[in-house]
Amino acid sequence: MCRRDEFSFYSTVMIRLILLTDFTESFSYNLLKGVLAYSKSHEPWVVCRMPPSYKNSYGIEGVLKWAKTWHADAIIGRFDNDDNVELFRENGIIALAQDYKSRFDNIPNITGDYRKTGKMAAEFFLSKGFQNFAFYGYRDTVWSQERCEGFYECVAAQGFGNNFHSYQHQSLDDLWFYEAPPLLNWLKSLPQPTALMACDDNQGNRITEICKVNNIRVPDKIAILGVDNDEIICNLSDPPLSSISQNIVRGGFEAAALIDFLINDEEAAYQDVVIQPINIVNRLSTDFYSTTDAHIQTALKYIHQNIAADITVSDIVKQVPLSRRLLEMRFKQVTQQSIHKYIFNLRMERFAQLLLADDAPIADVAAQVGINNLKNLSRQFKALKNVSPHEYRKAHCTEGCIIGNKYQSGKNNIVSGKTVSSMLRPEYPTSNSCPM
């Protein structure tokens, strides 16, 4: 394997990287975009795309044989946990695992803050007034299990633990096959309305498909939220699937940067790249507010339709035949928030989404969501997101850099700002709190 004799900020020897993953999925495609973003600023790199079918046909030994023939420096792969990934290390090839069933202990993982993703889903549904919750996922994958745990722990903390249901009988090995009758029976058994989080967009699409065929109205009876924001899959669903967007491109960038470090420092400790959820892309599968109070439904609909205007609580009161005090009381019973707080949080979430949509000036972005007073914007945004708007945009961009001997990636990454040789792999909670 080609290695540089001394550290430099830019590669002076070509880095050869194999990507062993499924490029029919947007996750892998966006991961590649991040790798390419890094390689373009730290050239020369060359990337070989290897389909999973190659490993299925020739085994991990066949992958290694090709990697050696091609003189690969590194491989990012969707490995099975019984694959002998030590073979790569023994042959001087850096290997990173793209999460499959469980994290590897002996090589870096491209993983995620899955509990945070589950918590984000729960908070989203709680803000819509739901009191019944469900999770649909795999029984044998860390990313599905931990998303379920984060989802359950959040709703349980709000007193709805006994109103939680989960279906995790399927194996990841049966990705495209499922037994419809048991799943349909489970869906029919759920109290209505129920807020359902699917472990990813593929499974969210599966639920919308079964509901459509069997006349279970979405989102009226079951509101459905996926993960990954795969636009093709989300729009293939009927109704279109809401989904949690993740900073996958950033993860690919940081994975490439980590490979560059490990090539330059053979004694460096292995670290994980932790992809963070960004926001929820709301589509029709969750366009529902769980309340029988018609006046609160009117108020919520008005807020969401007019959030770009400079609306106030007084504007909301004018939409319903209730006193301000009574409306406030009934609104808080449904959303657990005051009207003012609900408008503020929604406005800030929309503002955060638009910050990442393009590089328009922050003042222009604020105006798009009805924020005309910029004086307190940074302070208010920081109270919600723990960073300023500028820092938030910078942390979620696809750029990163290496400064000195430090890995200066975004603050969203556990390994940020520490020398690689001094970093220790984080310990992941193992609560197994998600009910089966």
Helical H segments across 356-388, by residue range = 362-368, 377-385
pLDDT given for residue 435 in this prediction? 73
Residue spans of beta strands (DSSP E) within 386-426: 401-403, 406-408
Tell me the domain boundaries of the chain.
Answer: 15-112+248-279+400-422, 114-245+280-286, 294-394
3-state helix, strand, coil in the chain (%, to 5): 45, 15, 40
Say which DSSP state 178 is in.
-
Rounded Cα distance between 356 and 265, Å, is 34
Q: Quick one: CA dihedral 259, 357, 243, 411, positive or negative?
A: positive
Of the listed ranges 77-81, 136-140, 167-171, 271-275, the least confidently predicted one is: 167-171
Q: CB neighbours of 21 closer than 8 A, spacing ≥ 6? A: 28, 31, 52, 76, 77, 78, 98
What is the pLDDT of the chain when averaged over all its residues? 85
pLDDT given for residue 270 in this prediction? 78
Q: Hey, which of 5-14, 215-224, 348-357 has the most confident mean pLDDT?
A: 215-224
Position 412 pLDDT exceeds 60: no
pLDDT given for residue 273 in this prediction? 95
pLDDT given for residue 7 in this prediction? 38
Chain-centre distance of CA 96, in angstroms?
Answer: 19
Mean pLDDT along residues 179-204: 93
pLDDT given for residue 176 in this prediction? 53
Of the listed ranges 50-54, 179-183, 213-217, 287-291, the least confidently predicted one is: 287-291
Can 15-112+248-279+400-422 and 114-245+280-286 be said to share one CATH topology? yes
H/E element holding 109?
strand 109-112
Mean pLDDT along residues 95-121: 93
pLDDT given for residue 400 in this prediction? 39
CATH superfamily of 15-112+248-279+400-422: Response regulator (3.40.50.2300)
Question: Which CATH code for domain 294-394?
Answer: 1.10.10.60
Per residue in 19-33, pLDDT (tens digit) is: 999 888 889 989 999
Chain-centre distance of CA 37, in angstroms?
Answer: 20
Per residue in 27-51, pLDDT (tens digit) is: 998 999 999 989 888 868 999 999 9
* CATH classification (class only), 114-245+280-286: alpha beta
Per residue in 392-401, pLDDT (tens digit) is: 888 776 443 3
Mean pLDDT along residues 293-319: 91
Mean pLDDT along residues 69-81: 94
